[in-house]
Amino acid sequence: MKKLFLILSCSISLLAITSCREEAETKEVVREVEVREVEVEKEEKGILERAGEKVDQEVSKEVNEEIDKIGDDN
């Protein structure tokens, strides 16, 4: 009898707890978004070549400055 009463009370309490829950409502939102395509210029030179050119320019400037400091012997 105790087992029956325990099972019955557990099942009633379980039904009471689950039946009172409110189900969450979900809303589906659809937005239109404009997509812009960006054209990327294709680089013919790699990053090492570009970095090398920058270093060459800086070295050339320094060499020219040193030549100007020494002066023209002609």
Predicted local confidence at residue 45, as pLDDT: 80
Scanning the chain, the segments in alpha helix (DSSP H) are: 2-19, 47-70
CA R_g for the chain: 40
Please tell me whether the overall predicted TM-score, pTM, comes out greater than 0.75 for this model: no
Tens digits of residue pLDDT in 14-33: 777 765 556 778 888 888 98
Q: Report the alpha-carbon distance of residue 64 to residue 70 in Å, rounded.
A: 10
